C-alpha cells in the first residue's frame, strides 16, 4: 500500500466507497465518494483526524498501520460527527483504548449519544485552543453549522495545512491520487457544486461566517484537507472561490429550467422559453424534466446559475409532485438571488400561480414573471412564454 504523505508529517488514511448508491441514502454517487481521514505525526505524539464510515474499518486500519506501524495514536480529533466520518470511532477506541478524543462541547454530547463514549476519553477544547504534538501544533477553529452544530476545523500551524471537515469537499472517490497536484481533478468540479448545494447548501450564512473568520484570523493556508474528495493545493483558491460564491448564492451566467409535464403541453412551454433565451444569447441553459432528472442535479444547477424558471401542470389541485419536491428543496436551502420565474398549466381549475407565488414569498425572492396556460399551447401561450424568457433575461442582465 502506497503511503501518501501530503506535506511534512501529514498522511492520508481515508477510504473510497464505490458501493453505496446514495449518500445519506438520498444523493446519487455515480463516481463513489471518499471518506477522508488523516494522520499527523509529530515528533512526540500522533493525532488521527476524523475516521471513516462504519464498515470500512479493515482498509482504514491497513492504511493507519502502513503509516505508523505498531505505534499508538495519542489523539483522535473529531472535526465532524456525522456518521460518514465518526462511524470508525468504536473500532478506534477498541484498537487504541488509551486514545484521547478531542472535540468541543457539542462533539461530547454527540459522542455519548451515538457511541456511548465516556467523558473520561474526551478532551474538550474551545475556539482557537492548541494542542502540541511536539514539532507540530494543532489549532482548533470552531465553525458551527458547516454542516452540523459541532463542526470545527483543525489547522497545522507549521505547515499551513487546514483540515476543513465537509467544507471544500466534493463527491467522487479518489482514483489513485490524493492531492490535486498529482492527478486531473477537472471532473470533480461538477461534483463540488453538487456536494455543496445538496449537503451544505442550507448553511450558506455559516459558510460565510467560517470564511470570514479564517480570513480575519490572518492564517495562511497552503493545503486544504477536507473530509471528501481531493486535497486542494494547486486549485485551493479556485475551490474556496466556488464555496464563497455558492454560499453567497451568487450565480454564474446561465438558466436552469425545471418542469413537470404529463402529456407534453407544459414541456412545450419549457422548450419555447429555452428557445427564446437562446435567441437572446444565453449559452448555458439546463433543462430538467423533474420526472426524469434526479433532484440532486436539479438542486445543483439551481444553485449554480443566475436564472431559475420552474413550470408545472396543476395536479389534483397541487403542483406536480416532483416539482413540489424541488420547490421544497429550494425553500429548505433558503435559495436567494435568482432571476426567478414560473409557468403553469391546467385543464379546468388552476393552482399553479398561487402555489408558486406562495413559494416565492416564503423564499423572500421576487418573481420576475409568471404565466399560465389552459389546455395546450396556443398563440397567446407562445407570446407569454417568449415574454417570460425576456423578463428573466433582462433581470439577469441588471
Ligand atoms: Fe461528510 Fe456532514 O458529513
Model confidence pTM above 0.95: yes
Q: State if residue 17 touches ligand 1 by the CB under 6 angstroms criterion.
A: no
Q: State if residue 151 touches ligand 1 by the CB under 6 angstroms criterion.
A: no
Q: Is the pLDDT of residue 185 over 90?
A: yes
Radius of gyration of the chain (CA): 24
Q: Measured between alpha carbons, how far is 33 from 16 in angstroms, rounded to an integer?
A: 6
Q: State if residue 227 touches ligand 1 by the CB under 6 angstroms criterion.
A: yes
In degrees, to the nearest 5, what angle opens at C-alpha 339 toward C-alphas 247 and 145?
20
> How far does residue 84's CA lie from ligand 1's centre (Å)?
6
Identify which of 39, 47, 50 has the alpha carbon closest to the alpha carbon of residue 85: 50
Which atom of ligand 1 is the closest one to the Cα of 35? 1
Measured between its terminal Cα atoms, the distance across the chain in Å is 55
The cell for 27 is 444523493
Instruction: Return the pLDDT at 30.
Output: 98
Determine which helix (DSSP H) or strand (DSSP E) holds 153, and give its type and residue range: strand 152-156
Q: Measured between alpha carbons, how far is 201 from 197 in angstroms, rounded to an integer?
A: 4
Which atom of ligand 1 is the closest one to the Cα of 200? 2
Q: State if residue 85 touches ligand 1 by the CB under 6 angstroms criterion.
A: yes
| Secondary-structure breakdown of the chain: helix, strand, coil percentages, each rounded to the nearest 5 | 40, 25, 35
Q: Is the pLDDT of residue 1 over 80?
A: no
Per-residue pLDDT tens over the stretch 323-381:
999 999 999 999 999 999 999 999 999 999 999 999 999 999 999 999 999 999 999 99
Q: State if residue 166 touches ligand 1 by the CB under 6 angstroms criterion.
A: yes
> How far does residue 15's CA lie from ligand 1's centre (Å)?
14
Write the DSSP symbol of residue 199: I
> How far does residue 316's CA lie from ligand 1's centre (Å)?
37
The secondary structure of 217-264 as a DSSP string is HT---SEEEESSSPBBSTTHHHHHHHHHHHHTTPPEEEEEEEE--SSS
Give the residue-averaged pLDDT of 96-121: 97
> How far does residue 10's CA lie from ligand 1's centre (Å)?
21
Q: Which residues of 21-45 are buried (b: 16+ CB within 10 A; e: fewer)?
A: eebeeebbbeebbbbbbbbbbbeeb
Amino acid at each position: 500500500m502506497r503511503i501518501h504523505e501530503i506535506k511534512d508529517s501529514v498522511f492520508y488514511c481515508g477510504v473510497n466507497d464505490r458501493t453505496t448508491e446514495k449518500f445519506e441514502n438520498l444523493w446519487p454517487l455515480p463516481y463513489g465518494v471518499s471518506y477522508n481521514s488523516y494522520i499527523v505525526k509529530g515528533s512526540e505524539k500522533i493525532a488521527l483526524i476524523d475516521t471513516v464510515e462504519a464498515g470500512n474499518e479493515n482498509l482504514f486500519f491497513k492504511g493507519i498501520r502502513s503509516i505508523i506501524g505498531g505505534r499508538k495514536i495519542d489523539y483522535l480529533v473529531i472535526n465532524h460527527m456525522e456518521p460518514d466520518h465518526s462511524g470508525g470511532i468504536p473500532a478506534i477506541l477498541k484498537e487504541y483504548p488509551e486514545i484521547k478524543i478531542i472535540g468541543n462541547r457539542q462533539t461530547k454530547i454527540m459522542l455519548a449519544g451515538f457511541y456511548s463514549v465516556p467523558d473520561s476519553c474526551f478532551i474538550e477544547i474551545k475556539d482557537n485552543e492548541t494542542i502540541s504534538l511536539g514539532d507540530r501544533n494543532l489549532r482548533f477553529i470552531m465553525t458551527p453549522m458547516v454542516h452540523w452544530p459541532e463542526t470545527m476545523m483543525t489547522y497545522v500551524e507549521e505547515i499551513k495545512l487546514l483540515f476543513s471537515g465537509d467544507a471544500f469537499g466534493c463527491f467522487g472517490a479518489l482514483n489513485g491520487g490524493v492531492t490535486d497536484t498529482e492527478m486531473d481533478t477537472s471532473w470533480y468540479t461538477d461534483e463540488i457544486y453538487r456536494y455543496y448545494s445538496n449537503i451544505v447548501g442550507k448553511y450558506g450564512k455559516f459558510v460565510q461566517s467560517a470564511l470570514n473568520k479564517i480570513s480575519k484570523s490572518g492564517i495562511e493556508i497552503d493545503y486544504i484537507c477536507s473530509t471528501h474528495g481531493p486535497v486542494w493545493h494547486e486549485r485551493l483558491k479556485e475551490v474556496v472561490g466556488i464555496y464563497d460564491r455558492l454560499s453567497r448564492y451568487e450565480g454564474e451566467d446561465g438558466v436552469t429550467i425545471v418542469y413537470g409535464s404529463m402529456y407534453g403541453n407544459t414541456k412545450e412551454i419549457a422548450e419555447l422559453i429555452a428557445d427564446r433565451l437562446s435567441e437572446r444569447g444565453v449559452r448555458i441553459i439546463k433543462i430538467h424534466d423533474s420526472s426524469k432528472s434526479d433532484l440532486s442535479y436539479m438542486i445543483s444547477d439551481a444553485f449554480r446559475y443566475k436564472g431559475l424558471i420552474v413550470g408545472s401542470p396543476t395536479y389534483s389541485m397541487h403542483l406536480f409532485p416532483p416539482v413540489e419536491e424541488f420547490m421544497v428543496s429550494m425553500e429548505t436551502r433558503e435559495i436567494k438571488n435568482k432571476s426567478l420565474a414560473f409557468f403553469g398549466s391546467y385543464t379546468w381549475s388552476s393552482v399553479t400561480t398561487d402555489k408558486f407565488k406562495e413559494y416565492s414569498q416564503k423564499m423572500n425572492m421576487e418573481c420576475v414573471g409568471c404565466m399560465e396556460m389552459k389546455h395546450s399551447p396556443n398563440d397567446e401561450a407562445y407570446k407569454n412564454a417568449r415574454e417570460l424568457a425576456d423578463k428573466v433575461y433582462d433581470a439577469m442582465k441588471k
